[in-house]
Amino acid sequence: MNNKRHHTIQFVSIFAVLLIIMMQSFTQVIMMKPLDGIEEYEEQVVERSFKTYYNGTYQDYLTRLAKQNTGFREFFIRNYNQVLYSCFGKSTNHHIVEGRDHELYLKMYLDEITGNTLRKYHPTIEDAQAEAQKNLEATLRLIDTLHAHGTEFLFVFAPSKTAVYPEKMPRWYKKHMADFSLEEYYIELFKENNIPHIDFHSYFKAIKDTVSYPLYARTGTHWAQSTIPFVADSILRKMESITGYKLPRIQYVDKNITTNYTILDHELEDKMNLLFPLPKPALPNPILALSDTLDTDKPNLLIIGDSYGNQLVLSSFAKAFNHWDFWIYNRDTFSSRSLYNMKQLKMIYDAADILKDADIVMAVFTAPMFHNYMFGFAQSAQELYQKGDMTEEETILMTMDMIRTNSEWMKAIEQQAEKLGISAEENLRKNAKYYLDCQKNKSN
């Protein structure tokens, strides 16, 4: 009798759990914390038919769809990740590697410091050096062009955690550190040619044992929030010396020591998608302000860089400028002006005007990005200046070429042309002119 009652309770409990999971799958009534990282959800591309049912593709599609919409999926994944990490010291995110003292590293930077990235892009060190020499010449031409338009140039060598704290890397990576660093080679080239730059790469390595707090958070990959005041003020001082502008100083209002890290200070931990937070030492999340300056005329800033520029434009540093634009990877735009914020650079009609309007162009890059030097900005800047001198017809033709690269846009133009009874090329030209008129109206 007791066994029967026990089995009944067990059956009802299991059925209730499955029912709750099923209800959550359909209703999502309980809000779950989303998983961090990139998720690609299944689109309904498999049609239900006898053929797809017979060959099993429709059933496979339903299985994938069910997995992606299972109730409490986020909890189950985090729980699995937590067990794997706590019991076996492993992460399901293969882009993150844990070193000594629970220091987290992004594998991209480990590949760079061990020479794997160099070997991927260059057959030999000599080949990498030869390309660096060509990029140096392009940079010198760029600086000449910028100066001709009254714009100054500054390059910021952003340090990586692997370069600053190699002693905390896993043993295998420490043993296989490469002798040649492409970033350090560029630093030497910039010094030899007197190109305005700031070498945080070397400086961070020199001061890391003298500072009160780590220069990088244990669970992050970018410079720690506590480091930003020093970085920002150093950049402003350098800009002041090369432009003649009287720029403000970064001032501490409060150190704000906390374990409640900013997003970038725990970004790698987030991407591990664990159930429980990792232990973290207290770090400053400083509250900052700008000192007053005598100059009321602030410069305009254009940043070309990788993700290391994010913390600068999101801090008090950005308030030192009249307006700023950040062309991340020379591809997407962030801006203090809504007209240019969160856009694709190639879709901005007056990108040439943004460049011409800048008083300072600042490049910010870290080690792995030197294999794709400034993401082609040295060349594309020259093209933008030329674009500013284009005739109306040349601008229309260039816009037509830009539209052709967007397959969805072109498909819509072809469908519209068919309805209007005109050729796709004629309709493409009309759309290009309409797009240019809209962009001009937005700018006015």
C-alpha distances (whole Å) from 329 to each of 38, 60, 304, 309, 387 are 19, 38, 7, 10, 20
N residues, the chain: 444
pTM of the model: 0.81
φ, ψ for residue 106, nearest 5 deg: -80, 130
The residue to which tokens 């990498």 are assigned: 128
What average pLDDT is seen over the chain?
88
Give me the pLDDT at residue 5, please. Answer: 79
- Mean of pLDDT values over 428-435: 88
For residue 183, pLDDT beyond 90: yes
Q: What pLDDT, in 10s, does the model give residues 79-96?
A: 999 999 999 989 999 999
Lowest mean pLDDT among 12-21, 256-265, 296-305, 404-413: 12-21
Q: Tell me whether strands 257-258 and 287-290 are parallel, antiparallel or unpaired.
A: unpaired
Confidence of residue 38 (pLDDT cuts 50, 70, 90): low
Residues 6+ apart with CB under 8 A from 24: 30, 71, 72
Give me the pLDDT at residue 42, please. Answer: 47
Q: What pLDDT, in 10s, does the model give residues 371-427?
A: 999 999 999 998 888 776 666 787 788 788 878 888 889 999 999 999 899 999 999
The residue to which tokens 């539209």 are assigned: 403
Confidence of residue 266 (pLDDT cuts 50, 70, 90): very high
Whole-angstrom Cα distance, residue 333 to residue 328?
6
For residue 49, pLDDT beyond 80: no
For residue 44, pLDDT beyond 70: no
Q: Are 229 and 250 in contact (CB under 8 A)?
A: yes
Q: What pLDDT, in 10s, does the model give residues 298-333?
A: 999 999 999 999 989 988 999 999 999 999 999 999
φ, ψ for residue 130, nearest 5 deg: -65, -40
Q: Tell me whether strands 152-157 and 283-284 are parallel, antiparallel or unpaired.
A: unpaired
